[in-house]
Amino acid sequence: MDSKNTFTGLEIAVIGMAYRFPGARTIEDLWENLKNGVESISFFSDQELKEAGIAPGLLENPNYVKAKAILEHIDYFDAAFFDYSPREAEIMDPQMRVFHECTVEALEDAGYDPESYKGTIGMYAGASANFSWEALSVLSGTSRAMGEYVASKLNDKDYLSTRIAYKLNLKGPSVTIHTACSTSLVTIHMACRALLTGECQMALAGGVTIMLPQKGGYIYEEGMILSPDGHCRAFDARAQGIALGSGAGIVALKPLKAAMADGDHIYAHVKGSAINNDGVRKVGFTAPSIEGQAEVIRAALHMGEVDPASIGYVETHGTGTALGDPVEIEALKLAFNTGKKGFCSIGSIKTNFGHLDSAAGVAGFIKAVLALKHRFILPNLHFKTPNPTIDFDNSPFYVSTELSHWKGNGSPLRAGVSSFGIGGTNAHVILEEAPDDR
C-alpha cells in the first residue's frame, strides 16, 4: 500500500452535500460549530416538556434526562414544489419531508438537474422507525380519510428512496436501507459500489432521523447506552453514554475520473469502503466486536491501497460508552498494525450533538469531508481524562481537544470514518482530500 499521491481508478468523488443537523442548517453553520467546539444539545424545562405532552409522572422520575438535540422548523414544507397536495404533506412522515428538501439541495450543490442530466442517478437512503407518527396518523383519522393504502406509502420509512426517486425522476437504483446506527454510512458504501459497477453515473446517499416529540427526554439506565446528563464524553474516563438527536444528511457522489472530466466541484473523495457483520463473535446481539470492526477497517484500507500510517484522522463511531469506546480503539489498533505512535487524531461528532441514529454515519462522513476540505483537525468535546482502560500512549491514536492545522507531510490528507450498527453491521470509509486541494 502506498501513502503517496496515487489513484487506483476506484475513487469516488463527493460533489455535493446537504443536511439538517442540530444547530446547523447550512454548511457554513456546521463548520463554525465544529471549528468552535459548539455543543448543540437542548435542555428543557418542565414547563416546556409539559407543553410538549410529556406525562407529569415521567418528569418526576429522577432518571428522566430532559435533553435532546433537535431540528428547527420540521413542520415547514413546500408541498407544491414537490407536487404534493396539502393533505399528502400533512400525513407524510416528517423524515420524508426533510429528506426531500435535502436531496434537492444536494443536487443543487452538485450543480445538476435530474431532468437534464444525461446519466442515471441512484438513490440510497435510510430512516428510523417512526411509530409515534404512524400511530398519530391512525388515531387522528387522517390516514383513514385518505385511505390506509395510500397513507402507508407516505408515512412508512421503507418508501423513502423510491418516493423521492419518483418525485425527482431519478432513474438509477433506488434502495432504502436499514442497519440501525450504521445505516447512512452503509448507504454511502452501497452507492459507491453502484457507481463502480456502472449501475448509475451519479448517486445520492444518506439518512434521516427525526425523533418525536422533539421536545422530550429519555430514561437513563445504568450500564446502557444513554448518558445520565445529556452529554456525550467519547473516550473520556467519565463517559457513560450518548444523548439522542434528530438530523438528516445526504451526499452526491460520482466516480472521481468522471467528476474531474466534467469540471465538478470536489469536496473530497472516497479511496475505499467496506461493510461486514460481527456474526456471533460477541457477548450479545447489541454488543460490539473487536474482530468485526478491525476486519471492516482492514478491508477498506485494502480496497483503497492505503497505508494506515498516512491517515491523520479517524471520525469514530464514538458513543462514549464503557464497553464501546475501548472496543473501538482496540479494533483500530489491530487494523492499523503499525509501530508508529500518536500520529492519528480521533474524534466523534456525537460529542457535538448526540447520536442521530440512521443519520449518524453520514454526519461523521460530512464532518470528515469538511475537515479535509479546510485542512483542520477539529476538537472533540468533553474530553479531559482518558478512559483508563484505553492505552493511548502505546497506540497510533490521540484525542484532539483543540482546533489545529492539518499538515500533510508530503502525502495527501486522509481520514477514516467508522459507523457500527446495533446488530453488528459495521461500515468504514477511507477519505482523501480533493486533488485540487493538495
Which among 436, 117, 56, 66 is positioned nearest to 228, based on CA atoms?
A: 66
Are 14 and 270 spatial neighbours (Cβ–Cβ below 8 Å)?
A: yes
Which among 386, 380, 369, 375 is positioned nearest to 346, based on CA atoms?
A: 380
Respond yes or no: is residue 269 known to be catalytic: no
Number of Cβ within a 10 Å radius of residue 172: 22
Q: By three-state DSSP, how is residue 37 classified?
A: coil
- Catalytic position from the list 102, 178, 181, 269: 181
Number of Cβ within a 10 Å radius of residue 197: 8
Respond yes or no: is residue 181 known to be catalytic: yes
* Separation between Cα atoms, residue 13 and residue 176, nearest integer Å: 22
Are 361 and 186 spatial neighbours (Cβ–Cβ below 8 Å)?
A: yes
- Catalytic position from the list 100, 189, 231, 317: 317
152, three cell numbers: 402507508
Q: By three-state DSSP, how is residue 211 classified?
A: coil
- Catalytic position from the list 100, 355, 382, 428: 355
Respond yes or no: is residue 317 known to be catalytic: yes
Q: Which residues on neighbouring strands pair with residue 270, listed in sequence order? A: 12, 431
* Separation between Cα atoms, residue 258 and residue 264, nearest integer Å: 9
Number of Cβ within a 10 Å radius of residue 222: 8
* Separation between Cα atoms, residue 133 and residue 92, nearest integer Å: 9
* Separation between Cα atoms, residue 204 and residue 18, nearest integer Å: 11
Catalytic site positions: 181, 317, 355
